[in-house]
């Protein structure tokens, strides 16, 4: 990897670490999710760029949850909260997540997730296979008497691409693909006391530009120009576009762009058996001595 690119990954990771520390401080029962999201995202924007909207997924929701415009929901005592945040410097991404059970210090799902990811970090190196590394993750999680979420996975990172071509599942798979020196991966471990699978839910508040196409609505054209200019091929939140038009017209524009294949939508992911879900994630540059940019 070019040294200048590596430094950008590291810089993004430094900002992500500070944002994560701030998020831990601000995450309290009674706090409005929208206020929390805007505070953490605002902090990131002062120091770097947002790689994606902050994900705030609670209890049996695993991922892709972010507040809507004028969301009035609050964190509650007993909530198992996943905070997933991303920072980018010139498109080079730091992706990290942590979990907190509000009002509880020791939670087995969180412990299993954290320890499995640490074991992954301790063993990752050039030449290691996905077979070896996913086996480690699954064995650690199962040792706690809980399950991995089998249809969620860690992933590679590329410039302006949050989910690259490489997938590292939470379940053991027989893949002989070898990690290479300089691979950048966001490894995330999801644990649950439910069925071990997630399904799509609704409503959707996170989208990503995929490709241009003809659009009928004038609002769609205006909004698309903003999306491409500001976010490129990185995910964005519906609420980030609230000042461009009315809520009704914004909804119609986003719907048209999804239907025309211009945008990809990220529906919230919910545990199939309504089990609780925990998540831990760090960004890793693969080397003989790996660089954990977000830790």
Q: Which residues are catalytic?
A: 84, 95, 155, 163, 188, 281
Bridge partners for 88 per DSSP: 49, 93
Which residue has tokens 């601000």? Answer: 26
CA distance 229 to 40: 22
Give dist(CA 118, CA 189) in Å, integer: 10
Instruction: Judge residue 37's burial from the number of C-beta atoms within 10 Å of its C-beta, 0-12 exposed, 13-18 middle, 19 or more buried.
Output: buried
Bridging pattern class, strands 269-271 and 291-292 = unpaired
Q: Distance (Å, rounded) from C-alpha 284 to C-alpha 295?
A: 9
Six-digit token string for 238:
């519906």
Q: Which residue has the tokens 């530009």?
A: 209
Q: Taking the mean position of all CA atoms in its chain, how far away is CA 249?
A: 28
Long-range contacts of 225-231 (CB under 8 A, 24+ apart): 227/263
CA gyration radius, the chain: 19
């Amino acid at each position: 990897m070019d040294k200048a690119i590596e430094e950008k990954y590291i810089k993004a990771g430094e900002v992500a670490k500070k944002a994560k520390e701030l998020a831990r401080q601000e995450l309290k029962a009674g706090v409005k999710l929208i206020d929390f999201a805007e505070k953490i995202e605002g902090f990131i924007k002062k120091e770097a760029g947002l790689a994606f909207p902050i994900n705030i997924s609670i209890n049996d929701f695993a991922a892709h949850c972010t507040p809507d415009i004028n969301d009035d929901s609050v964190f509650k005592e007993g909530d198992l909260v996943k905070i997933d945040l991303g920072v980018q410097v010139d498109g080079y991404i730091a992706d990290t997540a942590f979990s907190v059970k509000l009002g509880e210090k020791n939670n087995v799902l969180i412990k299993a997730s954290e320890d499995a990811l640490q074991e992954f970090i301790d063993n990752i190196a050039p030449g290691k296979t996905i077979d070896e590394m996913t086996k480690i993750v699954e064995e650690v999680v199962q040792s706690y008497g809980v399950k991995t979420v089998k249809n969620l996975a860690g992933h590679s990172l590329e410039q302006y691409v949050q989910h690259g071509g490489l997938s590292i599942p939470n379940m053991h798979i027989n893949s002989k693909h070898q990690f290479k020196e300089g691979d950048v991966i966001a490894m995330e471990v999801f644990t649950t006391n439910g069925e071990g699978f997630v399904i799509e839910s609704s409503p959707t508040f996170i989208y990503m530009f995929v490709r241009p196409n003809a659009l009928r609505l004038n609002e769609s054209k205006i909004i698309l120009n903003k999306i491409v200019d500001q976010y490129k091929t990185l995910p964005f939140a519906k609420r980030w576009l609230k000042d461009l038009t009315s809520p009704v017209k914004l909804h119609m524009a986003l719907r048209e762009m999804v239907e025309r294949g211009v945008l990809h939508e990220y529906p919230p992911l919910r545990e199939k058996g309504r089990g609780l879900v925990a998540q831990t994630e760090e960004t890793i540059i693969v080397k003989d001595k790996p660089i954990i940019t977000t830790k």
